[in-house]
Amino acid sequence: MRCEEVQETLERRGPGMRTSLAPEVLAHVDGCSECREFASDLDFVAAAFVHVPEERFPEAKS
């Protein structure tokens, strides 16, 4: 697989979803430092959003 295909797949699947990825995608990520860094960046950004306390945005409450 090409890096572009792998990165598009990772973006579609979302952070933390690597367990459901096809073996060829996982193998590419394991062997490619650029794609490994891309996947780590996705996980880092998602983790930052997950840990934002809801109280900081009271207007978001319904």
Contacts of 22 (CB under 8 A, 6+ apart): 9
Give the tens place of pLDDT for each residue, 9-55: 888 876 566 556 778 888 888 899 998 888 888 776 655 555 555 56
Look at phi and psi of residue 13 and say left if phi exceeds 0, alpha if psi is from -120 to 50, else beta. alpha
Question: Which position has the token pair 């090409």?
Answer: 2
Report pTM: 0.59
